[in-house]
Structure 1
Amino acid sequence: MRSMRVVEVTAYGGPEVLRMARRPEPEAGAVPGRVRVRLKAAGVNQADLRIRAGRYADAVGDLRPPFVLGTDFAGKLLDPVAGMEPGARVAGFVPWFEMLTGDGTYAEIIWADPEWLAPVPDDVDFTVAASLPLASATAQQGLDRLDLPEGATLLVTGASAVVGRLAVQYGSAAGMRVVAVAHEGDEPELRVLGADHVVTRGTPEDVVAKVLAGDPDGVDAIFDGAIIGDALLPALKNGGVFLALAPDRVPAAERDIRVETVRAKPDAARLAESLRKVAARELTTRVADVMPLEEVAEAHRRAEAGHRPGRMILMI
């Protein structure tokens, strides 16, 4: 039986617990209803870092190391599916938390549900495509949960990173007034992408003060892409709505504030449209660094250090 390279979390801890290993390659037809994808790129996201560190140990139930992390992927189909032949360029994300099998995308070949898969346009690099699936779904489904009317003021934290950057663009396209919190120097680009007002990062208290300087009555909603949590609540109007992206950063409701959470689900049709917009230069994502799979521990270190805003991508 042929084997493939994977990265295993050998124990909960720092990046040093990530180890290269070999596992049997999936064989065609071995899993009913699933197809194989040979990966070219995989994304490293914040959930990966938190799972590896053991912060979600209770949430993963009986799953214990060693397991393989990773949700985002881009690569080539090995098996035919409706409308796509072997060799087709595809992207998507594995709903890792819903499956809890420990089979993620830090691997050469994965099993995928055909309903997860969106075609990747020829002029979109695999590294760019792999930065989009989970982030795009989180931004779009998060905005769905906020359910804001046109003209509402939306505060997006983490707007220099990929989820927040996409939330700025989708929010602006939906007719919202967007206030973005971003790295210094990103202000001009974010204004081009749809932000009406940009404030630079700082302590939560500094950010709240800067937001209230421009919106003294507070904002209608917060999309907490930077996973800051309840320290942002003073920037929110009474009766506003807060979207939390991480289960350990969900604020307690106060002042009639509605608190929502989102765990994105695959949506191939929306992802295909977003990839089409990336190809047409109508939507931009952000890749921080591209590193080989063997350097996954360094990729995690850079991601945790905030080395550069955007998605860390593993080349496979």
Structure 2
Amino acid sequence: MRAAVYRSVGSPDVIEVREVDKPEPGLADIRIRVQAAALNPVDMAAWGGTFPPPPEGSYYGLGWDIAGVVDAAGPGVVWEPGQPVIALSRRTSGMNRAQAEYVVVHSHELALAPAGVDPVHAATIPLNGLTAAQSVEMLGIRQGRTVLITGAEGAVGGYAVQLAKRRGAVVVASGLSADGEFATNVAGADAYLPGAEALSAAVRTRYPVGVDAVLDTAMLGQAVIGAVADGGIFVTTRIDALPQAERGIRVRLTQVGPDGAMLTTLSDLAASGELALRVAETHPLEEAAKAHTRLAAGGLRGRIVLTLE
């Protein structure tokens, strides 16, 4: 089968598409024939050298987000060939990754694909959707609680705004765009604060005692903990953006993991039109290096997706 791989690190130029062995499902595994696989910034950490590089003479695969159909099932599961599915491939090294013609995942890591949604858009859900959903869970939102979500125009932040509103939160969104059109008009934020400078002060102007919680997807860290009320909660999606706890604020880190049940909920929301999905560009698998080069350039609203059909 064909797969996007890299054998050294540095730039997108290290990525190549080559023939590799097709993975075989184990007892409780599913093999998926991939139709679409989204690119994410964490992919840049792989070929960029943040993670350990492949041993000399070997290759590592790329990709976390999968949309496709069941190709084969182990004897211990009830999924059937041909069922459309989405899944998260959560690994930071090795082969058997999403940007390939076939991938094997454990049966509890996938969900039925959203009905009526094409594979390209469905592929944008798993990593960013689960990161957002698991982060919102950690916020402990109750009806009427105030939440600041940074990076609200981005992939994780955009999903988080929508999910927090479903929980009944009053959401203050922030981002780099001037108008916050997506965060407010599409995702449903109650207010929008542009930029990252003096964000805590801007929040305190609206909420003098601070907001009940912050979900920091923009990696502002210490610069925005001042927006949280005493005894509130601060959740970040990056370990290098953890602020120092103060004033009784609980500081938490989201470490996303596969969750078939939560992914099913996200899929259902997408199918019903209650979760907005954004695709910026598509490229065939053969253009993987070009697609990753575009990812590294930034400035996109929505995900780049590799197609395999």
**What TM-score, normalized by structure 2, do the two folds share?**
0.89
- Structure 1 unaligned residues grouped into runs of 5+: none
Q: Is the 8 A contact 2:63 2:97 kept in 1?
A: yes
Residues 135-176 of structure 1: CA deviation (Å, up to 9, x unaligned)? 121111111222233222111111112211111011111111
Partners of 1:297 and 1:209 lie apart in 2 by: 42
The one of 215, 228, 231 aligned to 1:223: 215
Q: Percent identity?
A: 35
After TM superposition, give the deviation of residue 122 of structure 1 in Å. 3.9
Amino acid at match of 1:7: A
The alignment's C-alpha RMSD in Å is 2.3
Partners of 1:302 and 1:219 lie apart in 2 by: 36
Amino acid at match of 2:192: V
- Structure 2 unaligned residues grouped into runs of 5+: none
Partners of 1:250 and 1:224 lie apart in 2 by: 9
Amino acid at match of 1:67: Y
- Please say if 1:95 is aligned against 2:90: yes
Partner of 2:10: 13
Partner of 1:270: 262
Partner of 1:69: 62
The one of 164, 167, 173 aligned to 1:171: 164
- Please say if 1:129 is aligned against 2:122: yes
- Please say if 1:147 is aligned against 2:122: no
- Please say if 1:184 is aligned against 2:178: yes
Distance of aligned partners of 1:228 and 1:55 in 2 relative to their CA distance in 1, 3 Å threshold? farther
Residues 216-274 of structure 1: CA deviation (Å, up to 9, x unaligned)? 33222111122232222222223322111122222222232211011122221222222
After TM superposition, give the deviation of residue 185 of structure 1 in Å. 4.1
The one of 18, 22, 25 aligned to 1:25: 22
Q: Is the 8 A contact 1:157 1:180 kept in 2?
A: yes
**What TM-score, normalized by structure 1, do the two folds share?**
0.87
Residues 156-212 of structure 1: CA deviation (Å, up to 9, x unaligned)? 111112211111011111111101113234436624532110122x2x324334333
Amino acid at match of 1:15: P
After TM superposition, give the deviation of residue 109 of structure 1 in Å. 0.5
Q: Is the 8 A contact 2:130 2:257 kept in 1?
A: yes
- Please say if 1:34 is aligned against 2:20: no
After TM superposition, give the deviation of residue 37 of structure 1 in Å. 0.7
Please give the residue correspondences for 1:42-81 in structure 2 after superposition, counting only pairs within 5 Å: 42-57=37-52, 66-80=59-73
Q: Is the 8 A contact 2:161 2:183 kept in 1?
A: no
After TM superposition, give the deviation of residue 308 of structure 1 in Å. 1.2
Amino acid at match of 1:315: T
Partners of 1:284 and 1:187 lie apart in 2 by: 13
